[in-house]
Amino acid sequence: MSSLFSLLSYPFIQNAFLAGTCIAIVAAVTGYFLLLRGLTFAGHALPNIGFAGAAGAVLLGLDPLLGLLAFTIGAAIGIGLLGRNLRERDLAIGILMTFALALGLLFLSLYNGYAERVYSILFGTILGISRLDVLLSFGVSLLILASILLLFRPLLFSSYDPEVAAARGVPVRLLAIAFLVLVALTIAIAVQIVGALLVFTLLVGPAATAGRLALRPATVILLAVLLGLLYTWLGILLAVISGTIPVSFFIAFLSFVVYLPVRFGIGGFRRQRPASSPISRQASAN
């Protein structure tokens, strides 16, 4: 136990906790809207596309985060422009994603050097998170949260009912693109700890579970943030204790283990309705 405390006193582990906290909060909030807008596949594809950018940047001798940011934001704008036809959009995203993964593979095979930076982009690491990374995560998180707060009502409205929202004067398409850029930024800061392959866990897991437990949008978001924090803190702690297993495994594992009983067990109360609403009474009288 005392050795655990001495482990936690290491600056890089404290940095992982601080950055992880920012990431968990932002990922849960953007993840809620991602689910609402039926963009979960985009949430899966964006980090993979970002991986290609990161690999390309490594090949060119640039910071992989720059390449990741360029590719995810570019793809986010592209997906936002694709419009609302779900089936066509997901097809286009799928083809774009596999192409990006192929590019990433090409960049990796062309790169002769030590590819550890690329692997850490793929799987994440709690090692080597600097104080600067923490500050960067904090700043970007504040920016994302402030933007979501500003866009909150029109974003919620257009997520549920884009047609009426457009008729009421909400700039629906612009909002769709702005939101996906915020998702791209979220992914960019989250990748350093959870990695491109498992960012999806933090984006979708907490919001999916919270959406089955709470009724009001604000409550769902709050619950998603709490779950995200729980997964991230516990995940980092377990990764520190285990020493070799990456944190992304533990976060994904916890997310799965909590979602499972919520999906199939409790949450059944949601399917009940009051015994006699006036309308159902009328209907049965007819």
Q: How far apart are the first and last CA of the chain?
A: 69
Q: How far is the CB of 110 from other proteins (least distance, A)?
A: 42
Q: How far is the CB of 285 from other proteins (least distance, A)?
A: 9
d(CA 262, CA 255): 11
User: Alpha helices, DSSP H only, in the chain?
Assistant: 2-8, 11-36, 40-59, 64-81, 86-110, 116-123, 131-160, 162-167, 172-194, 199-213, 217-242, 247-264, 278-285
Task: By CB under 8 A, tell whether 118 contacts other proteins.
Answer: no
Report residue 168: phi and psi, to 5°. Answer: -85, 5
Task: By CB under 8 A, tell whether 282 contacts other proteins.
Answer: yes
Task: By CB under 8 A, tell whether 212 contacts other proteins.
Answer: yes
Beta carbons within 8 Å of 73's beta carbon, 6+ residues apart? 181, 184, 185
Count of residues in contact with other proteins, rule CB under 8 A: 41
d(CA 68, CA 53): 5
Task: By CB under 8 A, tell whether 1 contacts other proteins.
Answer: no
**Coil vs helix vs strand at 241:** helix
CA angle 186, 189, 192 (to 5 degrees): 135
Query: Which 151-170 positions form the footprint of other proteins (CB under 8 A)?
Result: 151-154, 156-157, 159-161, 163-170
Q: What does each C-alpha distance from 45 to 40, 48, 90, 180, 196 come to in angstroms? A: 9, 5, 10, 12, 10
Task: By CB under 8 A, tell whether 173 contacts other proteins.
Answer: no
Binder among 19, 35, 181, 239 for other proteins (CB under 8 A): 35
Q: How far is the CB of 81 from other proteins (least distance, A)?
A: 17
Interface stretch with other proteins, choices 43-51, 187-195, 207-215, 255-263 (CB under 8 A): 207-215
Q: How far is the CB of 172 from other proteins (least distance, A)?
A: 10
Identify the DSSP state of 222: H
Interface stretch with other proteins, choices 41-49, 121-129, 150-158, 194-202 (CB under 8 A): 150-158
Q: How far is the CB of 163 from other proteins (least distance, A)?
A: 4
Nearer to other proteins, 74 or 212 (CB): 212
Query: Which 251-270 positions form the footprint of other proteins (CB under 8 A)?
Result: 270
Positions touching other proteins (CB under 8 A) are 35-38, 149-154, 156-157, 159-161, 163-170, 211-212, 214-218, 220, 270-271, 273-274, 277-279, 282-283, 286
